[in-house]
Amino acid sequence: MQPIQNQGDQPIIVLREGTERTQGRDAQRGNIAAAKAVASAVKTTIGPSGMDKMLVDSIGDVVITNDGVTILKGMEIEHPAAKMMVEVASSLDEEVGDGTTTAVVLAGELLKQAEDLIEQDIHPTVIAQGYRQAVERAQEILEENAVRVNADDTGVLKKIAATAMTGKAAEGAKEKLSDLAVKAVGMIAGEDGSIDHRDIRVEKKVGGSIEDSEIVDGVVIEKERVHPGMPKKIEAARILLLDAPVEFKKTGVDAEIRISRPDQLQRFIDEEEEMVRSIVDHIVQSGANVLFCQKGIDDLAQDYLARSGILAARRVKKSDMEKLSRATGGAIVRAVDAISPGELGEAGLVKERKVSGEDMIFVTQCGNPKAVSIILRGGTEHVVAEMDRAVGDAIRVVSTVVEDGTLLPGGGAAEMEVARGLRAYAPGVGGRAQMAIEAFAESMEVVPRAIAENAGFDPLDVLVELRSVHETGGKNAGVNVLGANTADMIQSGVVEPLRVKYQAISSAAEAANMILRIDDIISTAPPAGEPPSPEGMGGMPPGMPPGMM
């Protein structure tokens, strides 16, 4: 039990037995150590020479990736402070689709620098305030150094996509995949530059090579015809999207039917057939020649539909139904009685064809030209899965640049320029906040340092050269992993969206400040009969191997 002393020195017990409590410096050290361990886990994946991680779950499934958010989610972290780092990566991935590893590594470095300041008796609140000031100035520096780009400049957009995929397993085919990503975004972009990612569907297929990947102007459904007698191809398709079963409707209550004569049995079967035929008649009379059903279609209905020349697929996923609705302009009908010609969608062509030995239905020439599908092909499931993550990142960053029209040099160039600018800004602030801002500037250099380390360079030599170049006006200089230590990243085609860098720095600082302000951790006791966690709230994060702290 946790006693608390009152003025009369009489202990008052306020926490139940078994509750763990960590306070003050011990709580801060534990949280910082956990956050640094998470950052250390993904630091080696940064840059074009970053390494991959193999994640093996409890049932033996394997994922091989260097995608930051995928790694962090797969680690199943339990420590609360470490979980906050994972949340930073997840929210950033949802917001801009990239920069997750940068944010986590930067947050870890900010906490490392803050730990040194705390040891110098600088209060965490002062550090947090200095970090907030540094973020505001950093964002101004990024905007001052941003490069404007035309949304129609496909060459630059492909470079953006290629940079997002660099270092991933799909890098060997980044030219092909960058082209697919840029085309897909261009096909769904509105006149005002707005982009709805729901209009792009990515299908993964094991078999063939990466070069066999293709883009489809329409929607691809991973289903086949429910009856071999149905047509494989329908032109001028009138599409019914039905969220109701096409089958005999069973009674909603328990009932018993007693049949004593053969003619009664036949009459019952006839009634069942008539009910199914009535449903199919509703579909035929609406003028539909293609049916996508979210529920089941029984054998009798399949036969009737085939005789009527209707191509049908059943058990279509809800997300696919929604995509078909947007693409074809058809409404998702919830009841058979509501079927009418006005609810149908339209497409120029609906066709079933084989991809990697599996039948798929292609809905093309849609009424809404913003419906796009990408089919990714690869030799193994691991390759295709990593391609999916890489293309997803590429689509998001290209979309961001199309919407914002701004980009920054990659390769650590933007971070080095922010570090230089913050060092110049800090003396004007003065006081202890100046030390926090200078620590923030030092932390920014963790990105180019990690890129250099992962490429096998001496990070100290690279940082010294980068600082010298940036001080003399080379604001686009970053780490060149292919030759000399440094190079102009804009000329090298290594570019990133302004919004990604902006959000990564902001999210990292928010996470660091939140962790810094925690000085008391109260871990409630586990339910009776359940052993307490051996790690404790301030110790080693579960799942982290020794030495990562």
Residue 64 exposed, middle or buried by CB count within 10 Å (0-12, 13-18, 19+): middle
pLDDT, residue 464, reads 93
* Tens digits of residue pLDDT in 358-367: 899 999 988 7
Supply 424's token pair. Answer: 């110049």
From first to last of its 549 residues, the chain has per-residue pLDDT tens of: 455 555 556 666 565 665 666 667 777 788 888 888 888 888 888 888 888 888 888 788 888 887 888 888 888 788 888 888 888 888 887 777 788 888 999 999 999 999 999 989 899 999 999 999 999 999 999 999 999 988 888 888 998 888 888 766 666 778 888 899 898 888 888 777 677 777 788 888 888 788 888 888 888 998 999 999 999 999 999 999 999 988 866 544 455 656 666 655 555 555 667 788 888 888 999 999 999 999 999 888 899 999 999 999 999 999 889 889 988 989 999 988 888 999 999 999 999 998 888 899 999 988 776 778 888 888 888 888 888 888 888 888 888 888 888 999 988 999 999 999 999 999 998 888 999 999 999 999 999 999 999 888 888 999 999 999 999 988 999 998 877 778 899 988 889 999 989 899 999 999 999 888 887 776 676 655 555 554 444 444 444 444 443
- Choosing from 44, 45, 52, 67, which is the catalytic residue? 67
DSSP state for residue 355 in the 8-state scheme: E
Domains of the chain with bracketed CATH: 25-147+409-523 (1.10.560.10), 218-368 (3.50.7.10)
- Where helices occur in 8-167 by DSSP H, the ranges are 24-43, 68-74, 80-96, 100-119, 124-145, 154-165
* Tens digits of residue pLDDT in 244-296: 988 866 544 455 656 666 655 555 555 667 788 888 888 999 999 999 999 99
Supply 81's token pair. Answer: 């402070």
Contact yes or no for 75/543 (Cβ under 8 A): yes
520 is catalytic: no
22 is catalytic: no
- Choosing from 393, 400, 404, 486, which is the catalytic residue? 393
Q: Where are the beta strands (DSSP E) in 356-398?
A: 358-366, 372-378
217 is catalytic: no
Nearest to 131 by CA among 104, 113, 105: 113
Kindly state the helix (H) or strand (E) to which residue 206 belongs, with its residue range. strand 200-206
What's the Cα-to-Cα distance from 17 to each of 1, 20, 298, 522, 539, rounded to whole Å? Answer: 4, 9, 60, 12, 20
* Tens digits of residue pLDDT in 284-333: 999 999 999 999 998 888 999 999 999 999 999 998 898 899 889 899 99
pLDDT, residue 249, reads 62
67 is catalytic: yes
Mention every residue, 6+ apart, whose C-beta is less than 8 A from residue 3.
11, 12, 13
124-145 vs 498-516: helix crossing angle, rounded to 10? 180
Nearest to 183 by CA among 368, 370, 367: 370
Contact yes or no for 450/46 (Cβ under 8 A): yes
- Choosing from 44, 45, 65, 100, which is the catalytic residue? 100
- Choosing from 45, 70, 101, 102, which is the catalytic residue? 101
